[in-house]
Structure 1
Amino acid sequence: MPQVDAAQIVHSIAEETHTPEETVARIYADALDQYRADARIHDYLPLFAARKVRATLRQNGTDTH
């Protein structure tokens, strides 16, 4: 899997959800840390973390779509 640019992921989620990048970055870093703690394979962790951030923001009503 190609190297993932965390800044681009954060920016994309922030635009999609109309959430400040600082907030998204914090949630993304927390999600990534949680997955890294138990993962044996790290290739897809950025994808899983991004998915979790989107779900968290949707659940909290931040997403205006």
Structure 2
Amino acid sequence: MRHADVAQIVHTIAVETNTPEETVARMYADTLDSYRADARIHDYLLLFAERKVRATLRGGNSNRH
């Protein structure tokens, strides 16, 4: 995924959750690193990381993936 795509994801989550982009970017990177450490298949990690960060910031259940 291109850097511009990740930046757009971070921006969108930040706006939706009223959270600073720096915070969202750090959460996204940390989540993605965590998933990559355990994953054998990497096809959907970016989507899973996006969903987890969004759910965490909204106060939802983030343990689905």
| Alpha-carbon distance in 1 for matches of 2:8, 2:46 | 11
Q: CA deviation at 1:6?
A: 1.0
Segments of 5+ residues of structure 1 without an aligned counterpart are 61-65
Displacement of 1:58: 1.3
Amino acid at match of 2:48: F
Structural mapping, 1:25-64, within 5 Å: 25-59=25-59
Identity in percent: 78
Q: TM-score, normalised by structure 2?
A: 0.81
What TM-score, normalized by structure 1, do the two folds share? Answer: 0.81
Give RMSD over aligned pairs: 1.5
Aligned residues: 58
Displacement over 4 Å in runs of 4+? none
Gap regions ≥5 residues in structure 2: 61-65
